[in-house]
Structure 1
Amino acid sequence: MRLGSVARAPLFLRVFLLMLICVGVVQLMNLALLIAVQSPAARLSTVGEVADALQRGADHTGAFDVKRTDTVQTFKWTPRAERLGLALATAMQVDPGRVEVHFPTPFLQRELVYNRAGIPAPVAPASADAARTAVLTGDFVASLRHPDGTWTVVRSGGFEPWRWFVLLWLILSAAAVAPFAWTLARRLTKPIATFAEAAERLGRDPRAAPIPLEGPMEIAEAASAFNRMQARLNRYVDDRATVVGAVAHDLRTPLMRLGLRLEGAPEDLRTACEGDIRDMEAMVSATLSYVRDTNTLLERRPLDLRSLAETVIDDLSDRGAAVSLAPGEPVVIVGNSAALKAMLANLVGNAVKYAAGGEVSIVADPDQVRVEVRDEGPGMPPEDIERAFEPFFRGERSRNRDTGGIGLGLPSARAVARAHGGDLTLKSREPRGLSAIVTLPL
């Protein structure tokens, strides 16, 4: 009971708890950082150390970054920089105008602007030895101009150890929270991916198995609603197919009675009416076959589509039809062998009937296979291309059943293609002919 209640816990509660866990882990890491890290000590340097680095143009202690440059950046005046610049000049016994000192403003801190007129001028140290004992704290940039116009620049260098420690701690904190974030992301996206797969499966096979009712309460309710929708759609289609099939089946009885009543009619009238009755019986039989084929649950398994097409082509070739299949590699898809074979026979049979032959090619892309049946017949007007898939529509206007058919072949073929998650389209060829293109998912 407890496991079931946990499995049905609302998604909102799960997300909320995971977020609380993430926040708690981060706060614990911050608390541990506060306890473990030592208070960072201010970086201290003497004026003498900086003066030696400026005069030598190098620093062997590694405390400073020293380089030679042609120009230096101009900074705003500050009393502290002026005092320490004067101390550096005194320690090196050079003109104060050749020395520049600057203290960078910390990140996100506003740089102060001083009014020099209101601040008294600094007093130089009594001697060079006294100047060398002055202390510089924090980050600074000191520059010495040489007689040739170039500058030696000394910067307080490098990341301090405590900064590296804090950076490492931040990385560890992110690594500690990452599993919870990964779990949260998977729990949020997995149900969505499941619904996307179910919607795709429903488009390919309306009678696919329902979605399992598992996961959080919201997901289980959504899955249940999706399953009810799928069941209603199937019932709706079944009801319509049943009605159409029943009407087509019941039409046979009045047609038979009409045939019996025509026995005593004049010869010419009886002959004409019997021809119409045969046409109506053929339409009824085709309708029943169409309803049965489109409403039957198709058993699917992996099959080689090229081998299936070769079977159809060989059968028509044995009857003397001029049909051919372009060579290529085997193409394995998941489908119903009988339905796909009937679809291919329908399309290739149309090419033989209306163009005395055709060519079939099968090309596999990374995610789908394309079957194209080409002929060089009279083709079809552009306005009839899409109407050709309407039940009982015939592009051949003579209404002769022997030349035009019933008008259910292409609708049935498209129904098979769409039942397998693909589609069937027609395209006119130049200068003449027609292409029937079937796309099926791999």
Structure 2
Amino acid sequence: VSDSTLARTLLIRVDPVPASVVPEESYRRWYDFTGATVIREFKARLPDLLAVDLPDDKRVSLYFESDDGPIRMSFDRRRVSASNPHQLLVNMVGFAAIMTVIAYFYLRNQLRPITRLARAAEAFGRGRHLDYRPAGAVEVRAAGNAFLDMRARIERQIEQRTLMLSGVSHDLRTPLTRLKLGLSMLDDEDREAMEQDVTDMERLIDEFLDFARGATEGKPEPVDPVALVGQIVEDMGRAERAVTLYLAEGEGTVALRKAGIRRAVENLINNAVRYGTRAEVSVLLTDKSLRIRVEDDGPGIPRERREEAVKPFVRLDTARNQNLGSGVGLGLSIATDIARAHGGMLRLGESERLGGLRAEIVIGR
């Protein structure tokens, strides 16, 4: 069999070429990774090989030196390398994409119960009761059941505390009423001081009741805080409190417990006018927060004692001269609890305008 017949049988094309056509070195495209292996294997197996040309994915050209000059042997590239060498990479990427989608839906289903638990816990921290049923993995259900037990215990303790203090205060009002009736029969000179003591006792009972109610009285509802604060200042002014509305900016409504916010602001105003000569109230409503600020010109509270001042029954004699009033140290504590129940906080600082205390309720929207 002649060489030409053998070449045709093997589907190899053999052509003589001029020396100028022979490449000086083997050629492949830079991204043809399998081409590098083809060139290396041909050079290792064919010592007389001059060059290998891989112009595309379809043909392979080998250049040899013969007695009659350079020759070129061309054949289909599929005979020496895979026609789709990138298939493994495609399979890997496809498999990874499928696994990513499966993992996404699996994790989303696993995280959904945790998200519901977090929402229920956050709502309870804000004083709202959100319906929650444990679901998901065993560990998540165990955490959910523990949360429900904890919530039930806290609600039961709050209810018992409220009932106890309400009952005590109710029982105390009866003898106080009798005292008032008895005092009315005394001489004016002796009666005035004693009636003031009875009035102070009634006010202390009211403060205990406010503290017992906590910050969970009522349900949150859309309230215009600017209008509410303006009404509170107007009411306090009619009650002969030296208070003015200094700043009122913003429009819109916020989900608030109206009675709780009123009680908190009134407590701050009462504290301000008790320890100073006047109070100024500011309310600022933005897209991100609600700020209600009460400032006075009193002695203020030192920075190192402000954290202690918001605790129940704390009386800072040296800072605020509590002897000026008969409070029991619940005003700031009640305001703090109400602010926290709305997901906010009570900040104490120094008033730059009046020089006294600045108490600011900050609630996020």
> So what's the TM-score if we normalise by structure 1?
0.59
Q: Is the 1:210–1:227 contact (alpha carbons within 8 Å) kept by the matching residues of 2?
A: no
SS at match of 1:377: coil
Q: Is the 2:204–2:327 contact (alpha carbons within 8 Å) kept by the matching residues of 1?
A: no
Mapped to 1, the partners of 2:15 and 2:327 lie a distance apart of: 105
- Tell me the CA shift for residue 336 of structure 1: 1.5
Q: Is the 2:217–2:259 contact (alpha carbons within 8 Å) kept by the matching residues of 1?
A: no
Q: Which residue of 2 aligns with 1:343?
A: 264
Mapped to 2, the partners of 1:169 and 1:278 lie a distance apart of: 85
Structure 2 gap ranges (5+):
1-11, 31-39, 53-63
1:338-363 deviation digits (Å, cap 9, x = unpaired): 22123223324444442413141314
1:307-347 deviation digits (Å, cap 9, x = unpaired): 22222234446668452343432142212122212322332
1:386-415 deviation digits (Å, cap 9, x = unpaired): 3332334445435344xx545332222222
Judge which range, 348-357 or 331-340, deviates more.
Answer: 348-357
Q: Which residue of 2 aligns with 1:386?
A: 307
Q: Given the alignment, which residue of 54, 65, 84 partners 2:29? A: 65
Q: Is the 2:125–2:343 contact (alpha carbons within 8 Å) kept by the matching residues of 1?
A: yes
Q: Given the alignment, which residue of 154, 157, 164 partners 1:233? A: 154
SS at match of 1:299: coil
SS at match of 2:29: strand
SS at match of 1:208: coil
Q: Given the alignment, which residue of 356, 360, 369 partners 2:290? A: 369
SS at match of 1:324: strand
SS at match of 2:148: helix
Q: Given the alignment, which residue of 41, 49, 64 partners 1:87? A: 49
Q: Which residue of 2 aligns with 1:437?
A: 360
1:15-70 deviation digits (Å, cap 9, x = unpaired): xxxxxxxxxxxxxxxxxxxxxxxxxxxxx999989983625x9x9xxx8439xxxx
Mapped to 2, the partners of 1:333 and 1:217 lie a distance apart of: 38
Mapped to 2, the partners of 1:45 and 1:221 lie a distance apart of: 76
Q: Is the 1:310–1:325 contact (alpha carbons within 8 Å) kept by the matching residues of 2?
A: no
Q: Is the 2:14–2:71 contact (alpha carbons within 8 Å) kept by the matching residues of 1?
A: no
SS at match of 1:237: helix
SS at match of 2:84: helix
Letter of the structure 1 residue corresponding to residue 50 of structure 2: L
- Tell me the CA shift for residue 190 of structure 1: 0.7
Q: Which residue of 2 aligns with 1:408?
A: 330
Letter of the structure 2 residue corresponding to residue 407 of structure 1: G
Letter of the structure 2 residue corresponding to residue 299 of structure 1: K
Letter of the structure 1 residue corresponding to residue 233 of structure 2: I
Q: Which has the higher contact order (CA 8 A, sep 6+)?
A: 1
Pairing 1:399–2:323 present? yes
| Alignment CA distance shift 1:259-1:162 (3 Å) | same
Q: Is the 2:233–2:243 contact (alpha carbons within 8 Å) kept by the matching residues of 1?
A: no
| Alignment CA distance shift 1:322-1:48 (3 Å) | farther
- Tell me the CA shift for residue 237 of structure 1: 2.3
Pairing 1:212–2:133 present? yes
Mapped to 2, the partners of 1:349 and 1:166 lie a distance apart of: 77
SS at match of 1:399: helix
- Tell me the CA shift for residue 170 of structure 1: 3.8
| Alignment CA distance shift 1:85-1:307 (3 Å) | farther
Mapped to 1, the partners of 2:168 and 2:333 lie a distance apart of: 19
Identity score, percent: 29
Letter of the structure 2 residue corresponding to residue 300 of structure 1: P
Mapped to 1, the partners of 2:149 and 2:199 lie a distance apart of: 43
Q: Which residue of 2 aligns with 1:52?
A: 21
| Alignment CA distance shift 1:361-1:257 (3 Å) | closer
- Tell me the CA shift for residue 278 of structure 1: 4.3
1:235-255 deviation digits (Å, cap 9, x = unpaired): 122223333333444444666
1:24-423 maps to which residues of 2 (within 5 A)? Answer: 52=21, 54=23, 64-65=28-29, 81=43, 87-88=49-50, 127=67, 129=69, 132-133=72-73, 161-205=83-127, 208-215=129-136, 219-252=140-173, 276-292=197-213, 294=214, 297-316=217-236, 321=242, 323-353=244-274, 354-364=276-286, 366=288, 368-395=289-316, 396-397=320-321, 399-401=323-325, 405-423=327-345
Mapped to 2, the partners of 1:348 and 1:327 lie a distance apart of: 16
- Tell me the CA shift for residue 187 of structure 1: 0.9
Say what the alpha-carbon RMSD is for the aligned residues: 4.7
Structure 1 gap ranges (5+):
1-43, 67-77, 90-100, 102-123, 139-158
> So what's the TM-score if we normalise by structure 2?
0.69
SS at match of 1:426: strand
Q: Is the 2:222–2:253 contact (alpha carbons within 8 Å) kept by the matching residues of 1?
A: yes
Letter of the structure 2 residue corresponding to residue 433 of structure 1: G
- Tell me the CA shift for residue 184 of structure 1: 0.2
- Tell me the CA shift for residue 198 of structure 1: 1.2
